[in-house]
Amino acid sequence: MPELRYNRLNDFWVIISKERAKRPHDYPVEWRKEVDNIEKCPFEPGREKMTPPEVFAIREEGTQPDTPGWKVRVIPNKYPALRPDEPFYRESEDIHDKMGGFGYHEVIIDTPDHYRHVHDFSVGEIFLILSVYRERMRKLYQNKNIYYVQIFKNHGREAGKSLYHSHSQLVALPRIPKRIDTQIKQCKKYYIEKERCLLCDEIKYEVKEQTRIVYENKSFVVYTPFASAFPFEMKIIPKKHSHDFAQSTDECLTDLSEAVYVAVRKLDKLFENPPFNMILHTSPPVRDLPSDPNYFYSIDKVFHWYLEILPRMAIHAGFELGTEFFINPTPPEEAARYLREKKIEEG
Amino acid sequence: MPELRYNRLNDFWVIISKERAKRPHDYPVEWRKEVDNIEKCPFEPGREKMTPPEVFAIREEGTQPDTPGWKVRVIPNKYPALRPDEPFYRESEDIHDKMGGFGYHEVIIDTPDHYRHVHDFSVGEIFLILSVYRERMRKLYQNKNIYYVQIFKNHGREAGKSLYHSHSQLVALPRIPKRIDTQIKQCKKYYIEKERCLLCDEIKYEVKEQTRIVYENKSFVVYTPFASAFPFEMKIIPKKHSHDFAQSTDECLTDLSEAVYVAVRKLDKLFENPPFNMILHTSPPVRDLPSDPNYFYSIDKVFHWYLEILPRMAIHAGFELGTEFFINPTPPEEAARYLREKKIEEG
């Protein structure tokens, strides 16, 4: 029987369509193929001149920028959504409001190997990529006109990936995005009422309840949220309250890498290389206070960062776009059970 | 150069990526094929027993329900997201909130002809479909537990269509959806400040400005919104203030049918059968007042219904899902020019 569930963090409702109760083999296994053209791939070692000059890389000692020898390489996107050389302005055009297209759009090439994808990576390789996320985030927040850095990864064509070679992306924005703004507002509302963090409470409940838990290690827990908008959606979240990913220690990133390793491999085994997005949600820097002095005063107490994995096996159609209701054909409890039981090799 | 634009009605920002300035031929023309299996199609005349019994139809005189002779036929969805036999309740599960999966999910079979799609329909055929939308909406709002009726059409697989035979859908919901709630709040805020309707002002400005106008007739105007989230997005809106689609007269629906005819054919000619969603946004019935008595008092003054066409030529990837920022690679002014100039046969 169907059920409507409230996603408090994001302030939307989800229809959990239990009737359809889609099991893993009810989903298509024929995903749209990505174009694998190694001859033309601009991300191959030795073709560094085909991309804009790198802004950061983890490389073997003694190797030069824009030459081979890198393990993870960061470059400006050749077709950026926003650009650092655009003016930062806010203005109106009669009844309409607009802003300048100032910002950064970078590509993080995850690996020099054309054929390795996120579900092939070792815990150590994932650690390197996450540490590059942290590095770029710290760097870009030094620019006072950057209000939020969104880091994400598109895997598979249904998830929006256009180039085969594994990469992540980063967009540094001149304003706080709506979704983060909503999350902060919701966390703040909860905190004011209860003097507790919304996500700390959620973690505590889910760990006690167990039905939606996929995996747990020393510092992280992976679970399918109660009101998941996507089938087999997972939240990877630090158990200990922490508002800012960019402040993570190496020890923390090691445990996170292990959790990502497990989550991504389980999903891959269950669906044979399904499309998904991996998205980081974290606090904006505290300096970006809206004019209301109460709004951000306790961002460090109020917000709790996490990584989400959104499998893209269902299309958002007219209903979802028209209403912002999501229909999830697999109850998260079912999804968690399948994921929990799926065996993978140890990292 | 890129620009950020505010979509006041929906309260989100859009990145208009002028640099990429995608022209129609920059978009793929190879859409995923829908499965056209007329032998198994449950929507064919003569196979009425393959579907749940019809709840409404426009038929030739003297023909019986669930037999051939219909022009437009409405049936319950065989795999409904919500069901009328589910209980209507609101309750909590420890920290989580939920509601019963009560509601209606219906399929409107647009035509008896397996091979005719919305861009093939005459103005008269479109009129019949729109009058069925109006009929079902009026009917379903008689149920006091139905708070909103969302009507939409998915065309093409990228837009979420799974059955080839042309159809629309309707979901009657036990609460007002988030997007409509946001639109009402935004319209109300604007009205309180200016004592004018937000969309009346927008129409007036766009008609004066002309750069985003695609088509105009006696009662309707079609334009590409200033902060379009989708490339070649169109708004089809009554020029005269009107909050409730269900109250439309036949004369109004005739003019609307003509506008839909033109918009859909132009889009089809420009992209060769592109995927799109057509979504109706209208006022909930006035009886559904939230507890705040000021909230809805002037819904008839505040809200302005419209139909939107959202072409699905760009995938929403990790960035869009993570931020609720949209990236639109074709400025609406460019889109309007292409659409305006595209010639179609007269209705």
State pLDDT tens for residues A111-139: 999 999 999 999 999 999 999 999 999 99
Q: Which residue in chain B is spatially nearest to A31 when comparing CA positions?
A: B32
Q: Place domain B3-341 in its CATH homologous superfamily.
A: HIT-like (3.30.428.10)
Residue B99 neighbours by CB distance under 10 Å = 22
A30 CB burial (10 A radius; 0-12, 13-18, 19+): exposed
User: What pLDDT band is residue A289 in, cutting at 50, 70 and 90?
Assistant: low
Would the pLDDT of B35 be above 80?
A: no
Question: Closest to A205 (Cβ–Cβ): which among B32, B94, B201?
Answer: B94
pLDDT at A278: 98
CB–CB of B323 and A2 under 8 A?
Answer: no
**Among A167, A243, A281, A304, the one annotated catalytic:** A167
User: What pLDDT band is residue A297 in, cutting at 50, 70 and 90?
Assistant: low
Single-letter code of the amino acid located at B121: F
CB–CB of B318 and A152 under 8 A?
Answer: yes
pLDDT at B289: 55
Contact list in A for residue B327 (CB cut-off 8 A) is 81
Min distance B231 CA to chain A CA atoms (Å): 14
pLDDT at A292: 53
CB–CB of A81 and B317 under 8 A?
Answer: no
CB–CB of A317 and B161 under 8 A?
Answer: yes
Could you give the strand order of the β-sheet that contains A90-93, starting from the edge strand earlier in sequence? A90-93, A96-100, B3-7, B12-16, B326-328
Contact list in A for residue B201 (CB cut-off 8 A) is 95
Would the pLDDT of A255 be above 60?
A: yes
Question: Chain B window 131-150: which residues touch A at a Cβ cutoff of 8 Å?
Answer: 148, 150
Mean pLDDT of B264-277: 95
Min distance B318 CA to chain A CA atoms (Å): 5
Angle A198-209/A178-194 helices, nearest 10 degrees? 80
Would the pLDDT of B85 be above 80?
A: yes
Q: Does A332 touch chain B (CB under 8 A)?
A: no
| Strand-strand pairing, B96-100 and B167-173 | unpaired
Q: Does B197 touch chain A (CB under 8 A)?
A: no
| Exposure of B105 in the CB half-sphere (CA atoms within 13 A) | 16
The residues with which B221 forms a beta bridge, in sequence order, are B216, B237
Would the pLDDT of A291 be above 80?
A: no
Q: Is the complex ipTM more than 0.90? A: yes
Q: Does A152 touch chain B (CB under 8 A)?
A: yes
Q: Does B201 touch chain A (CB under 8 A)?
A: yes
Contact list in A for residue B173 (CB cut-off 8 A) is 323, 325
Residues with Cβ within 8 Å of B1's Cβ and at least 6 positions away in sequence, in order, are A83, A86, A101, B18, B19
Would the pLDDT of B21 be above 70?
A: no
Name which of B28-42, B110-124, B237-251 the model is least confident about: B28-42
Q: Is B287 helix (H, G, I), strand (E, B) or coil?
A: coil
CB–CB of A150 and B322 under 8 A?
Answer: yes
Name which of A69-83, B291-305, B314-328 the model is least confident about: B291-305
Residues in chain A: 347
Residue-wise pLDDT tens digits, A139-164: 999 999 999 999 999 999 999 998 99
Min distance B60 CA to chain A CA atoms (Å): 30
- Residue B237 structure tokens: 């809106």
CB–CB of A101 and B8 under 8 A?
Answer: no
Do A41 and A164 meet the contact criterion of CB atoms below 8 Å apart? yes
The residues with which B307 forms a beta bridge, in sequence order, are B236, B280
Q: Does A83 touch chain B (CB under 8 A)?
A: yes
Do B28 and B340 meet the contact criterion of CB atoms below 8 Å apart? no
Q: Does A173 touch chain B (CB under 8 A)?
A: yes
| Strand-strand pairing, A213-216 and A90-93 | unpaired
Q: Does A44 touch chain B (CB under 8 A)?
A: no
| Strand-strand pairing, A12-16 and A56-59 | unpaired
A167 is catalytic: yes
Rounded percentage of chain B residues whose pLDDT exceeds 70: 95
Residue-wise pLDDT tens digits, B313-337: 988 999 999 999 999 999 999 999 9
Q: Does A53 touch chain B (CB under 8 A)?
A: no
Q: Which residue in chain A is spatially nearest to B275 when comparing CA positions?
A: A317
What are the angstrom distances between the C-alpha of A5 and each of A18, A186, A226?
12, 16, 7
DSSP letters spanning A97-116: EEEE-B-EEEEEE--S-TT-
pLDDT at B286: 75
Mean pLDDT estimate for chain A = 93
| Exposure of B33 in the CB half-sphere (CA atoms within 13 A) | 3
CB–CB of B13 and A324 under 8 A?
Answer: no
CB–CB of B97 and A6 under 8 A?
Answer: yes
Question: Chain B window 2-41: which residues touch A at a Cβ cutoff of 8 Å?
Answer: 2-6, 8, 11-13, 15-20, 32
| Exposure of A287 in the CB half-sphere (CA atoms within 13 A) | 8
Mean pLDDT estimate for chain B = 93
Q: Does A154 touch chain B (CB under 8 A)?
A: yes
Angle B178-194/B198-209 helices, nearest 10 degrees? 80
Q: Does B121 touch chain A (CB under 8 A)?
A: no
Question: Chain A window 211-230: which residues touch B at a Cβ cutoff of 8 Å?
Answer: 226-227
Single-letter code of the amino acid located at B72: V
